[in-house]
Amino acid sequence: MNNSLNKKTIKKGMLPYLFLVLIMLAVVYLVNTLNTTVNVLDYNEFMNDLSTGKVTKLVVTPRDRAGTYEVRGTLKDYSKGEEFFVRLPLSNEVMRQIVNYSESQNFKFTTVADPESSSLLLIIANVLPLVVLVGVAFFFLNKQMAGNRSSMDFGKSKARLSSDKNKVTFKDVAGLKEEKEEVSELIDFLKNPKKFQKLGARIPKGVLLMGPPGTGKTLLARAVAGEANVPFYYISGSDFVELFVGIGASRVRDMFQQAKRNAPCLIFIDEIDAVGRQRGTGLGGGHDEREQTLNQLLTEMDGFGENTGIIIIAATNRPDVLDPALLRPGRFDRQVTVSLPDIAGREEILKVHAKNKTLGDGVTLNHLAKRTPGFSGADLENLLNEAALLAVRRNKNEITMSEVDEATDRVLMGPAKVSRRYSEKDRKLVAYHEAGHAVIGLKLRNASDVQKVTIIPRGSAGGYNMMVPSEEKLCSTKTDLLEEVTGLLGGRVAEEIVFKEITTGAENDFSKATKIVRAIVCEYGMSDLGPMQLEQQEGAAFLGRDYNKTRNFSENVAQEIDTEMRKIINNCYEEAKKIIKDNRKLLNLIAETLLEYETLTKEQIDYLVENGHMPEEKSDNLESMSLTSLREMAKEKDIKNYAKLNKTQLIEELEKLDNQSN
């Protein structure tokens, strides 16, 4: 099929060049004709020149119908491009004289057959110019019609038919067990509809996949198409919306007409919120084109017409802005929430994305899944890809835990700012700040586990503390939330106790703590104001619907909210102060170790708390070596400016030397 299409394309592409060659030949012929000077002679002049030996070349063409010979030739005194022409009687005597003179004078003499005696030549001479003209006219007319056809294709559907080239099945979708069960009924119906019709069951006309970005909504829809083995049309919601009113509605109609011809089939509309937003929410008037498109979609899904065998799957991460008419039974009957994966789901997703990667013995996917709460499937795929890129950059044959740690930090905080220079005072301040967070996390009973502490700057942060819940919970208690706030305040408390000074480094901590405390008071009803929801969870405002949203409390209650929030924050701050003061030795130990090693993992922190010192260094493991030991090794290997390099830079330089020696 593709070969025949390619041949047709090649032939169409050659036509313009063929016409161009013919035109060029005609131009060359005309130029040669215009550059030739023809002298017309009479019979006596020709016979005189022939008898006196002036003729050098003759071309004789008999014209039987006219009863004459047409003779062309040149004379000795003619210049280049000059010739004579004469008509002679068609008789044997004339031809005999010409032949005799040519033999005696030895000039070039040729005869040409009468063109009129050949029907083929006659046709070519008379019809070919007409064919060329018609062909040129047809070529330009076809070009014009093609342009008009493309301009009239506005109303055609842009839905594309999925090919089997990149077929996806349920085996390729991990961490969505319940979601796959919800959509598996669609596959059973498409394969065996009589089983459902026998009991009077009606299969859902539409399935709406909702959830945060990167959770696998589009991948799940592709897997449904791969499992069902039916035609699968996919289109984006933005493909319906155009400048001209009515085009989107026309595309919806055309899309369903195509689907009816290929039923049973699936239609997947990605980002349906682009066309399915609530009607009548535009300030100063609605969006006629989008609303007409939505009306047509609503009619096609559940109107007077029947769309038997057509199932629509749509995906969005903004279900709150969709029109209620889309979500009623008969349209999108089933709504499937594709949420972020839990620890078991993350491990399954990591296994899928690790199939084509070479992992070292120290990389445990279960341990990695525990360290990545809140990661979506796309985040996990990106994490392993970043780890693979780092391993290639470091000329390694496999991905080790060092690359996985670095990739996790890159996904969360961005690349390390190894070129940024800090004074020793700043390094010490950051070390105590992060150590303050770590101490609170270690000492509070319900606090999250400290997985990693580093003072290597990333993004806008001078360092950070990775803390994950000891176990994933469906909901949080008031104690959990208060201890989280106390942990966020630990950095500022450590600065105040150690340096008797406060800095701007706790800005992000305060932002997170304030949001949690406001939710405790206004949303969760966990404060002394009582079990009331005074505010709803903040989200992206939907212009027109949320623009004039009123508060659910008076000015007096607003003042009480501020007072209650301040009380909770102050209590948590005092609790953090007490913990830091009671564990000052642990604070100093972690901070001083951070200044030495720059990064501490959970295993190192646990060993440090238990034994009061770091585990013995292994000479073959650069990651576990202290900054001082790395600098001594760099000094021995004559690395320039080694004293100004941090741990990450020193490890990279030492690995480069090892690779060069190998």
Element (H, E) at 89: strand 82-89
* Each residue's pLDDT tens digit, 541-588: 444 455 444 566 788 888 899 999 999 999 999 999 999 999 999 999
Overall pTM surpassing 0.85 (yes/no): no
User: Given a cut of 70, is residue 3 above it in pLDDT?
Assistant: no
Place of tokens 């008009």: 148
Residues 439 and 581 sit within 8 Å (Cβ to Cβ): no
**Which value, to the nearest 10 degrees, does the dihedral of the CA atoms of residues 508, 514, 516, 520 take?**
180
User: What percent of the chain stands above pLDDT 90?
Assistant: 8
The mean-pLDDT minimum among 237-246, 278-287, 432-441, 552-561 falls in: 278-287
> Per the residue annotation, which of 291, 434, 484, 598 is the catalytic one?
434
Beta strands in 333-393 (DSSP E): 334-337
Q: In one letter, which amino acid is 262?
A: N
In sequence order, the 6+-apart residues with CB closer than 8 A to the CB of 316 are 208, 209, 210, 271, 272, 273, 276, 322
* Each residue's pLDDT tens digit, 356-377: 888 888 788 888 888 888 888 8
Is 495 a catalytic site residue?
no
Element (H, E) at 401: helix 401-413
Q: In what order do the strands lie in the sheet with 55-63?
A: 37-40, 82-89, 68-75, 55-63, 108-111
Residues 267 and 233 sit within 8 Å (Cβ to Cβ): yes
Q: In one letter, which amino acid is 242?
A: E
Pairing of strands 310-316, 265-270: parallel
CA distance 504 to 492: 9
Is the model more confident about 80 or about 148? 80
Helix or strand or coil: residue 58?
Answer: strand
In sequence order, the 6+-apart residues with CB closer than 8 A to the CB of 611 are none
* Most confident listed range (81-85, 97-101, 373-377): 373-377
User: Given a cut of 90, is residue 143 above it in pLDDT?
Assistant: no
pLDDT of residue 553: 73
What angle, 0 to 180 degrees and rounded to 10, lies between the N-to-C axes of helices 584-597 and 424-443? 130
Is the model more confident about 504 or about 115? 504
Query: Once rounded to an integer, what is the mean pLDDT over residues 123-144?
Result: 67
Pairing of strands 464-468, 449-454: antiparallel
Q: CA 116, 119, 122 angle in degrees (round to 5)? A: 60
CA distance 502 to 494: 9
* Residue 59: burial class (beta carbons within 10 Å; 0-12, 13-18, 19+): middle
User: What percent of the chain stands above pLDDT 70?
Assistant: 76
- 501: phi then psi, degrees, rounded to nearest 5: -155, 150
* Each residue's pLDDT tens digit, 159-203: 556 665 667 788 888 888 888 888 887 777 777 777 877 777 777
* Each residue's pLDDT tens digit, 204-243: 788 889 888 888 888 888 888 778 777 788 887 777 766 5
Spatial CA neighbour of 534 closest among 508, 507, 560? 560
Query: Once rounded to an integer, what is the mean pLDDT over residues 140-152?
Result: 54
Pairing of strands 599-601, 334-337: unpaired
pLDDT of residue 493: 93
Q: CA 105, 107, 109 angle in degrees (round to 5)? A: 125
Q: How confident is the prediction for the chain on average, in pLDDT?
A: 77
Q: How does residue 408 score in pLDDT terms, banded at 50, 70 and 90?
A: confident
In sequence order, the 6+-apart residues with CB closer than 8 A to the CB of 558 are 551
Q: How does residue 158 score in pLDDT terms, banded at 50, 70 and 90?
A: low
Write the DSSP assignment of 106-123 as a string of letters. --EEEE---GGG-HHHHH
* Residue 349: burial class (beta carbons within 10 Å; 0-12, 13-18, 19+): buried
Element (H, E) at 85: strand 82-89
